[in-house]
């Protein structure tokens, strides 16, 4: 598999900044990075309020600290993952080992799928808790921003999963095509058998030239 693997040349290419920036995966990772910042920064800055009846601060989502902690945790990990995968995407064309590329693609596929589900849970969780929140006890704009960008993150990570799955299938198809079993490949016939160009006629043994034919009488010599 020397011509390519998992969507890039296997010989080890050079980094092209312009083409890298224009890739759909790069754009989606950058958007996911921005969305994650909005979610965890909004909740960290304005997500905890201090009700007049209580001394300690509470999460603005119905006072459920678990909702705020979940959203902040998912957002921070998503932020770090976007940075890591952007670096791997930039380094990806320089890899000449197909197995190393496979590990990166599989990691991208699994992480994108898991984070799509986690962001969707985050969106549903925050929306549910916000619906139970008493009006006037929290900043509505910050809450709506966290809920909205959780939904946007679900969409971007879902698209990242789609592109990662396409790249994985491309790598599997390349492997299958380049490593076919020659026993079942009938497109290339076997070459005809070649025989040596030696003498084909029968040669009499040199020791038989002086021998007489059977039945012939030879008189004795005096």
List pLDDT tens digits, range 47-90: 888 766 667 788 999 889 999 999 999 999 999 999 999 999 98
CA dihedral 8, 12, 18, 19 (to 10 degrees): -10
Within a domain: 8 = no
Within a domain: 118 = yes
Within a domain: 222 = no
pLDDT (average), residues 119-128: 97
**pLDDT at site 1:** 38
CATH number for the domain that contains residue 96: 1.20.140
Please report, rounded to a whole number, the percentage of residues in the chain having pLDDT higher than 70.
Answer: 67
Within a domain: 216 = no
pLDDT of residue 4 exceeding 90, the answer is no
**Cα distance between residue 144 and residue 61, in whole Å:** 10
Within a domain: 59 = yes
Domain hosting residue 127, numbered range: 17-168
Within a domain: 11 = no
SS3 assignment for 157-194: HHHHHHHHHHHHHHHHHHHHHHCCCHHHCCCCCCCCCC
- Per-residue pLDDT band at 197 (split at 50, 70, 90): low
Within a domain: 204 = no
Within a domain: 94 = yes
**Cα distance between residue 125 and residue 111, in whole Å:** 21
pLDDT digits (tens, 9 = 90+) for 145-194: 999 999 999 999 999 999 999 988 887 665 555 555 444 555 555 555 55
Q: Are strands 58-59 and 48-49 parallel, antiparallel or unpaired?
A: antiparallel
Interacting residues of 202 by C-beta distance below 8 A, sequence separation 6+: none
Domains held by the chain: number: 1
């Amino acid at each position: 598999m020397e011509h390519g693997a998992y969507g890039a040349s296997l010989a080890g290419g050079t980094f092209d900044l312009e083409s890298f920036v224009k890739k759909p995966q790069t754009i989606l990772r950058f958007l996911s990075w921005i969305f994650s910042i909005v979610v965890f920064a909004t909740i960290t800055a304005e997500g905890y309020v201090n009700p007049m009846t209580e001394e300690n601060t509470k999460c603005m989502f119905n006072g459920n600290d678990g909702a705020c902690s979940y959203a902040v945790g998912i957002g921070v990990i998503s932020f770090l993952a976007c940075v890591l995968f952007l670096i791997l995407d930039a380094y990806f064309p320089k890899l000449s080992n197909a197995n190393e590329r496979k590990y990166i693609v599989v990691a991208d596929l699994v992480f994108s799928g898991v984070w799509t589900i986690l962001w969707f849970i985050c969106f549903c969780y925050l929306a549910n808790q916000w619906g139970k929140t008493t009006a006037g006890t929290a900043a509505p704009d910050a809450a709506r921003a966290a809920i909205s960008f959780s939904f946007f993150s679900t969409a971007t990570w879902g698209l990242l999963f789609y592109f990662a799955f396409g790249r994985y299938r491309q790598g599997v198809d390349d492997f299958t095509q380049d490593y076919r079993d020659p026993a079942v490949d009938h497109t290339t016939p076997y070459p005809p058998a070649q025989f040596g160009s030696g003498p084909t006629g029968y040669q009499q043994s040199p020791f038989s030239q002086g021998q007489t034919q059977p039945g012939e009488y030879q008189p004795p010599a005096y």
